[in-house]
Amino acid sequence: MAPDPTPTPRPTAAALDVALDLGAFISAAPSPYHAASEVARRLAGAGFRPVDEAAPWPTAPGRHVLVRGGTVVAWATDGGRSPRAGFRIVGAHTDSPNLHVRPRPDTGAAGFRQLGVEVYGGALLNSWLDRDLGLSGRVAVAGPGGRPELRLFRADEPLLRVPQLAIHLDRGVNADGLRLDPQAHMVPIWGTGTAREGDFAGFLAERVGARVGDVVGWDAMVHDLTPPALLGTDRSLLAAPRIDNLLSCHAGTAALARLVEDGADAGGPVPVVCLFDHEEVGSESATGAGSTVLPTVLERIALAAGLDRDGWFAALASSVCLSADGAHATHPNYTGRHEPGHLVAVNHGPVLKHNANVRYATDAAGAALVHTAARAAGVELQHFVTRGDMPCGSTIGPVTAARLGIPTVDVGVAQLSMHSARELCGAADPAAFAALLTRFLALPSTSVDVVP
């Protein structure tokens, strides 16, 4: 085990303000659709205007934001910023592991009404037990004239609960471990009585102001109702749902807004923040990192600026992407699960993530650019690599690097309880990460000299 890090200072008042604002952002974003909407709302305050991707692309310099389902892309071309100098891209994802409501969810047993759900992503199933749970997402409704509409909904009320089996009926649970079958054991209760087909559709119709017969589908999911909170006697930690990866979405949004308002990068490359849906299930969707959404937006920005096909490829060659996603802090109760030479501590700065098999996209050249941004921001960096005898997770980084063919580096904030219904990070780290991303988006050059 590596030695303990240097003593950790208490988060400053400014850092705590950022952590609390992150908590407000998370509370406003129980689903990827709400996350994309909240990002667009916040950026509107910094002068970003919505773009309809089915309409002619804006050619005048400006600040723009595009929302496609649970994915949002924002960029700025005012202040002399031009794709001729390339793009500085921060990518993250809006989705988190949870429980999705099935198309025909009305079920029940033993006098309880229940909702059929399907596990989304690599959820820590036990973390969803015995919690008060709400519902959120979007509803497809047959609107006037039969034209379909998508309406967001959220119910921040204790509607659901997945009760654990009493220890009296599972005497070996503490010694042998809890084993959960996602089909049989994760079906939440949401009332008593006999289930009736159409119960859930009727609930949604009431929530979105529609007739039950007009509800034709939904993308609905469960969320924990416990609000984000500063934790510890020194308030040095933040406990919240969906830290992976709404922390990165919040930091990227704040960085872009701060950059364009300060104008420090005027005349430089185009800053872009792209927050994808469906990372937790592989990114292969129309709104995932494996889609054409980001390459298409970048190319349309280049064409609107007057670049030809050759200029578009030259712009890519001058671009770089930072994949922002959570990193594993060293767990104090399971230090043996971590690479002993790479201690990662909360409140000690963002984490460069490395993997020899390219499950993360970081290489030496990309890491050098992040170090340049970190020095400019006055932020220290850490390094994560998994044990050689344990598999490694992945991010949008390798997907984006392969899709665009540009240098990409994986960086994130250290956290515990990743993929739990409620996660934990350092209260000082969100502010440090936003500062790093601001400097990264303003990098004047992506050149790294090669010395024989």
Q: Residue 92 domain-assigned?
A: yes
Shared-domain flag, residues 266 and 407 = yes
- Rounded-to-integer distance, Cα 395 and Cα 326, Å: 9
What's the pTM value of the predicted model, to 2 decimals?
0.96
Shared-domain flag, residues 113 and 199 = yes
Shared-domain flag, residues 369 and 419 = yes
Question: What CATH number is given to the structural domain containing 106?
Answer: 2.30.250.10
Shared-domain flag, residues 207 and 300 = no
Q: Residue 178 domain-assigned?
A: yes
CA distances from 247 to 21, 27, 95, 337 (A): 10, 12, 11, 24
Q: Residue 132 domain-assigned?
A: yes
Shared-domain flag, residues 48 and 184 = no
Q: Residue 288 domain-assigned?
A: yes
Q: Of 192, 224, 256, which residue is a domain's last?
A: 224
Q: Residue 5 domain-assigned?
A: no
Residues 6+ apart with CB under 8 A from 334: none
Question: Among candidates 76, 39, 72, which has minimal Cα distance to 53?
Answer: 72
Give residue-wise pLDDT tens across range 57-107.
Answer: 999 999 999 999 999 999 999 999 999 999 999 999 999 999 999 999 999
Shared-domain flag, residues 68 and 213 = no
Shared-domain flag, residues 289 and 349 = yes
- Rounded-to-integer distance, Cα 134 and Cα 246, Å: 18
Into how many domains does the chain fold?
A: 2
Q: Of 197, 224, 251, which residue is a domain's last?
A: 224
Is the pLDDT assigned to residue 255 strictly greater than 80?
yes
Give residue-wise pLDDT tens across range 161-209.
Answer: 999 999 999 999 999 999 999 999 999 999 999 999 989 999 999 999 9
Is the pLDDT assigned to residue 5 strictly greater than 70?
no
Shared-domain flag, residues 84 and 104 = no
Mean pLDDT of the chain: 95
Q: Residue 164 domain-assigned?
A: yes
Q: Of 193, 224, 255, which residue is a domain's last?
A: 224
- 411-429 in b/e form (b: 16+ CB < 10 A) is bbbbbbbbbbbbbbbbbbb
Is the pLDDT assigned to residue 3 strictly greater than 60?
no
Is the pLDDT assigned to residue 2 strictly greater than 50?
no
Shared-domain flag, residues 88 and 152 = no
Shared-domain flag, residues 120 and 21 = no
Give the range of the structural domain holding residue 407, as residue numbers without chain letter. Answer: 13-96+241-441
- Rounded-to-integer distance, Cα 179 and Cα 193, Å: 28
Q: Residue 1 domain-assigned?
A: no
Shared-domain flag, residues 294 and 377 = yes
Give residue-wise pLDDT tens across range 295-332.
Answer: 999 999 999 999 999 999 999 999 999 999 999 999 99
- Chain-centroid distance of CA 295 in Å reads 19
* Tokens 């970081």, located at residue: 362
Q: Residue 372 domain-assigned?
A: yes
Cβ 31 vs Cβ 70: under 8 Å: yes
Shared-domain flag, residues 385 and 362 = yes
Question: What CATH number is given to the structural domain containing 415?
Answer: 3.40.630.10
pLDDT of residue 4: 59
